[in-house]
């Protein structure tokens, strides 16, 4: 197959995946509105301290971006597997990677929309002032930082019944967000839970985001990056191992 044909195949798969999500308001409305409303109330209306405003802006931006990645992969991979679509796709000339990349593209697209909504609120109502380069770098960092969460969603989808997948995602997504300091400053949590945050990917993603908005590129930044890169590689290996074994299993 020529390179142009391969690119066309990947493009077609991604386009149809995006269209399928656009026809699923039950997915995109909560994914986009839930973080936006949360940020409006708890990151803007109820906050007066400038430092807390910036911390919560970054936290809710992280919260908004990782949601579509986790839910899109978990719910729709579980559904496609349960209904036999992955078996059908395996019988076509389409490479397996096209399915995964299409899901990733659609997830990143909705994550981009979620970021724009949060950014508009922050800019016009949250008194968040950043340089254009900082906005773009923050967006890039958070999009890349959503990759391990997408892979986590993929693993959930490969191992869950389609009705159980949303439950498993929420059992991870919400505690990771709270305990990782995305909803409120970690200093408001008990000391034991503050130490627990160091083991959570949400915490490290938020710290990288804070480094962008504060331009504080200290040595600790490399630790946060190394953590997320290592986790992404680990989850990638796990997904590569389980996908061919679980994708064709309907149970």
* Whether 43 contacts 126, CB under 8 Å: yes
11 contacts: CB under 8 Å, gap ≥ 6: none
pLDDT tens readout for residues 73-104: 999 999 988 888 888 877 777 778 888 999 99
Tell me the C-alpha distance between 185 and 46, whole Å. Answer: 13
The residue behind tokens 């269209």 is 19
Which ranges of the chain does DSSP label H, i.e. alpha helix?
Answer: 3-22, 25-38, 50-82, 85-90, 96-124, 132-145, 147-159, 165-179, 191-196, 201-214, 220-246
85 CB burial (10 A radius; 0-12, 13-18, 19+): middle
**Of 161, 118, 113, 147, which is closest to residue 229 (Cα–Cα)?**
147
Is residue 116 classed as helix, strand or coil in its secondary structure? Answer: helix
How much is the pLDDT for 251?
56
Task: Pull the structure tokens for residue 119.
Answer: 């950014």
How much is the pLDDT for 86?
83
Count of beta carbons in the 10 Å neighbourhood of residue 91: 7
How much is the pLDDT for 250?
60
How much is the pLDDT for 9?
79
**Of 105, 115, 25, which is closest to residue 65 (Cα–Cα)?**
115
* Whether 90 contacts 96, CB under 8 Å: yes
How much is the pLDDT for 219?
78
How much is the pLDDT for 215?
83
pLDDT tens readout for residues 195-204: 999 999 999 9
Tell me the C-alpha distance between 203 and 207, whole Å. Answer: 6
Count of beta carbons in the 10 Å neighbourhood of residue 78: 25
φ and ψ of 129, to 5 deg: -115, 115
How much is the pLDDT for 48?
80
The residue behind tokens 């609120």 is 121
The percentage of the chain sitting over the pLDDT mark of 90, rounded to a whole number, equals: 69
Give the pLDDT of the chain (251 residues) as one tens digit per residue: 566 767 777 888 889 989 999 998 888 899 999 999 999 999 999 888 888 899 999 999 999 999 999 999 999 999 988 888 888 877 777 778 888 999 999 999 999 999 999 999 999 999 999 999 999 999 999 999 999 999 999 999 999 998 999 999 999 999 999 999 999 989 889 998 999 999 999 999 999 999 999 987 777 899 999 999 999 999 999 999 998 888 776 65
């Amino acid at each position: 197959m020529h390179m142009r044909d391969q690119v066309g195949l990947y493009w077609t798969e991604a386009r149809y995946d995006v269209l399928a999500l656009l026809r699923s308001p039950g997915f995109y409305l909560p994914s986009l509105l839930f973080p936006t409303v949360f940020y409006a109330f708890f990151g803007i209306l109820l906050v007066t301290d400038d430092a807390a405003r910036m911390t919560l802006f970054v936290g809710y931006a992280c919260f908004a971006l990782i949601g579509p990645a986790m839910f899109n992969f978990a719910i729709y991979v579980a559904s496609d597997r349960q209904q036999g679509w992955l078996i059908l796709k395996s019988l076509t000339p389409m490479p397996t990677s096209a399915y995964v990349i299409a899901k990733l593209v659609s997830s990143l697209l909705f994550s981009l929309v979620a970021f724009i909504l949060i950014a508009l609120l922050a800019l016009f109502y949250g008194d968040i002032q950043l340089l254009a380069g900082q906005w773009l770098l923050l967006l890039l960092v958070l999009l890349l930082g959503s990759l391990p969460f997408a892979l986590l969603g993929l693993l959930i989808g490969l191992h869950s019944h389609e009705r159980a997948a949303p439950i498993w995602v929420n059992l991870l997504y919400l505690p990771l967000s709270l305990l990782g300091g995305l909803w409120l400053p970690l200093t408001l949590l008990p000391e034991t839970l503050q130490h627990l945050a160091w083991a959570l990917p949400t915490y490290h993603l938020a710290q990288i985001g804070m480094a962008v908005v504060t331009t504080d590129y200290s040595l600790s930044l490399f630790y946060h990056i190394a953590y997320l890169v290592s986790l992404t590689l680990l989850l990638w290996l796990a997904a590569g191992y389980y996908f061919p074994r679980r994708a064709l299993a309907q149970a």
